[in-house]
Structure 1
Amino acid sequence: MKLAIMQPYFFPYIGYFQLMHAVDEFIVYDNIQFTKKGWINRNRILVNGADSYIGIPLKKDSDYLNVVDRYLADVWPEEQKSLLNRLTGSYRKAPHFESVFPLIKEIIQSEERNLFGFLLSSLVKVKNHIGITTPLIVSSSLAIDHALRSEEKVMALCKARNAQVYMNPIGGVELYSKESFRGDGIELQFLKADNIQYPQFSNEFVPFLSIIDVLMFNSQERVRDFLNQYTLQ
C-alpha cells in the first residue's frame, strides 16, 4: 500500500494532486502547527502575466495553534467578493473559465469557518472535479502517539495504515532518510513533477501556480494527463 501525508493547502499546485493521485491513501494533517510563510492559507495565481498572491484571512490567534484550531476572519464574507472579482478579472478570458469558475466560487463561498474544515472540503471538491479517487484521511483520526514529530510521526502513520511505500514531494529529500524508513520496512520515494507547461494567454509561462491556473487553461482530460507526468526518486 502506498501512502502520502501532507498539510492542507489552499488550492495547491499540480504536484500536490499528482502525489494524491499516485498513492492508495492520502493523509491530511489537521493536528499540525499552522505556519505563516507556507501554503496553508495562501497561493499564487496569474495576474497580468505575473504571479500574484491570494489568501484566506484568519482570525488573530496564537502562532502555536494547530491548523484545526484556527478560524477564518470575520471579514472573510467581504473578502470572498474581492477574491472572486480578482479571479474573474484574471481568468475570464481563459478557455475553461466558464466550466471552472462555478467550482472555485462554490469552494470560496463555503459557510465553513474552521480553517481545516474549509481546506479539506476544498481539496475534496477539486480532486473530485479532476477525477482523483484516492481517499483522504484526517491525521488525528488515526491511533498513534500524536506527540511524535517529523520523521517519527510519519513512520508511525505509515505503520498505522500498513503502508509499504511512503511517497513525499521532492522537497523532502533533505528531511527524510531512506535508510531510516527501510529499517522499519517502508520504502521511501520522492515525487518530482515534470516540467509541465501550457499556454497562459500569450504570456511567458509562469510555473508552479495554484491548481486554479491549471484548471482555467486546461481541459479536465488534459489535467488528468498532467497527474502522471512526474518521476520517482
Structure 2
Amino acid sequence: MKIAIMQPYVFPYIGYFQMLQAVDLFVLYDDVQYTKKGWINRNRILLNGSAHTFTIPCLNPSQNKLIKDISVDWSSKETRKLRATIETAYCKAPYFEEVYPLLEAVLQNKAQETIADLATESIKQVCSYLGLTTSIKRSSQANYANHELRREDRLVDIVLKENGNEYINAIGGRELYTKASFARHGIQLHFIQSMPISYPQPNGEFVPWLSMVDVLMFNDKDTIATYLKSYKLL
C-alpha cells in the first residue's frame, strides 16, 4: 500500500493533490508543531494578474502548539473579507459558478473550529469535486501513539502501522531522508516531482504554483485530471 504523510494546508497547490492521488492513504499530519508563516493557514491566489497571499486568521498561533490545537479566528474581519476577495479575483473565471460554492462551504463553516479542521475540509471538498477517492486520515485521530519518536522514525512507524510498503514524500524531502533508511524497514521511498503546468490566465504572463483554487477556476475537471498525473516519482 502506498502512503503519503503531509501537514494539512488550506487549499494547497496542485502538487499536494498530485501526491494525494498517487497514494492509497493520505495522512494529514496535524499533531505536529504549527509553523508560523508557513502554508498551513496561508496560500496564494491570482488577483489583478499577480500572486496575492491570503491568510486565515488564527487565535494565538504559536510554534509551541500543535496544528490541531490552533483555533480559527472566525470573528476576524479578514476571515469574512477573504470570500469577497476570492469573488473579486475570480468572478469572471470560466468555472467560477461551479467552484465558488465549494469555497463558501469551507470558508463560512464555523463548525471547523481549528485550522486543522478547516484545512482538512478544504482538501476533502476539492477531492469530492474532482472525484478523488484516496483515503484520508488525520494523524491526531488515528492514535498512532508515537510522539516520542523523532521525525523519520515517526514517519516509518506510521507507514508500518498502516501496513504500507511504499512511502511517497515531497521532493524537498530528498535533503532529509534516504531510500536506504526506509528500505531497512521494508519500505520503498519515492519523491514526487511536479512537472511544469500552465493554463490560460487573464492579464498576461502565467503565474505558477498558486492555490488549487486558481486551477479549479480556470480548468475543467478532465483537464485537471491530466494535470494531476503530470509528475515523476524519483
User: Secondary structure of the residue that 1:45 maps to in structure 2?
Assistant: strand
Inter-partner Cα distance in structure 2 for 1:139 and 1:91: 34
Aligned to 1:102: 101
Counterpart of 2:104, as a letter, is K
Aligned to 2:15: 15
Alpha-carbon shift at residue 35 of structure 1 (Å)? 0.1
- Written as runs of structure 1 = structure 2, the 5 A alignment for 1:124-163 is 124-140=124-140, 141-163=142-164
Structure 1: unaligned runs, 5 residues or longer: none
TM-score (structure 1 length as normaliser): 0.96
Alpha-carbon shift at residue 74 of structure 1 (Å)? 4.5
Aligned to 2:82: 83
How many pairs does the alignment contain?
Answer: 232
User: Secondary structure of the residue that 2:71 maps to in structure 1?
Assistant: coil
* 1:117 matched to 2:121: no
* 1:57 matched to 2:49: no
On the 8 A contact 1:178/1:188 being kept in 2, the answer is yes
Alpha-carbon shift at residue 80 of structure 1 (Å)? 3.3
User: Secondary structure of the residue that 1:143 maps to in structure 2?
Assistant: coil
Alpha-carbon shift at residue 10 of structure 1 (Å)? 0.8
User: Secondary structure of the residue that 1:94 maps to in structure 2?
Assistant: coil
On the 8 A contact 2:25/2:134 being kept in 1, the answer is yes
- Written as runs of structure 1 = structure 2, the 5 A alignment for 1:158-197 is 158-197=159-198
On the 8 A contact 1:144/1:157 being kept in 2, the answer is no
User: Secondary structure of the residue that 2:146 maps to in structure 1?
Assistant: coil
Call closer, same or farther: CA 1:18–1:38 in 2, change over 3 Å: same
Structure 2: unaligned runs, 5 residues or longer: none
RMSD of aligned alpha carbons: 1.2
Identity score, percent: 43
Alpha-carbon shift at residue 145 of structure 1 (Å)? 1.5
Any idea what the Cα deviations from partners look like across 1:85-110, whole Å, max 9, x if unmatched?
A: 11111111111111111111111011
User: Secondary structure of the residue that 1:38 maps to in structure 2?
Assistant: coil
Aligned to 1:210: 211
TM-score (structure 2 length as normaliser): 0.95
Alpha-carbon shift at residue 190 of structure 1 (Å)? 0.5
Inter-partner Cα distance in structure 1 for 2:29 and 2:182: 20
Any idea what the Cα deviations from partners look like across 1:130-156, whole Å, max 9, x if unmatched?
A: 111001011131434122221111101
Inter-partner Cα distance in structure 2 for 1:61 and 1:2: 33
Any idea what the Cα deviations from partners look like across 1:43-96, whole Å, max 9, x if unmatched?
A: 0011111111011000015431001111012424x3333111111111111111
